[in-house]
Structure 1
Amino acid sequence: MVVRKRVFDEAEQARLIESLAQARNALVRAAEAMPRRSLARAGADQIVANIDELAFLLTGSRERFWEPPHATPGG
């Protein structure tokens, strides 16, 4: 049986998640202003993907920071 030791307590984890959310949002906004096929945009996109992976390790969800899907009115 594998026993996992928590690296962060709940308060530390919450602070880390909030910091990651802020960094991810800033990167997404910056990437939107970059040319689509630029090296800088590819780097920003990779960091966003890494943040999503870290969110998965911390919370169990890679989609922690994703926006909810748009709903179709009357649908």
Structure 2
Amino acid sequence: MSEFANQLDTRIDDVRHRIHEARSAGDEFLVENLIDDLQNLLELADRNDVDTGPIAEVIKAETGALPVIPDPEGP
């Protein structure tokens, strides 16, 4: 893993820790801002050809987003 990717991982871990602290404190405004920070890190990784799969999974976990499963019988 490159130094850039390692730094991204460190930043993501820091933001996740801050999200958990903000949730514990009941500060939903800060939680939303920190989730935006995670999304910005995802865009930064994507622009620099870093695998964004793990970051996307973190964002899904933090936002509670569920994957959209297409209807197998759809059009």
Length-normalised TM-score, structure 2: 0.47
Greater relative CO (CA pairs within 8 A, separation 6+): 2
Greater helix content: 2
Length-normalised TM-score, structure 1: 0.47
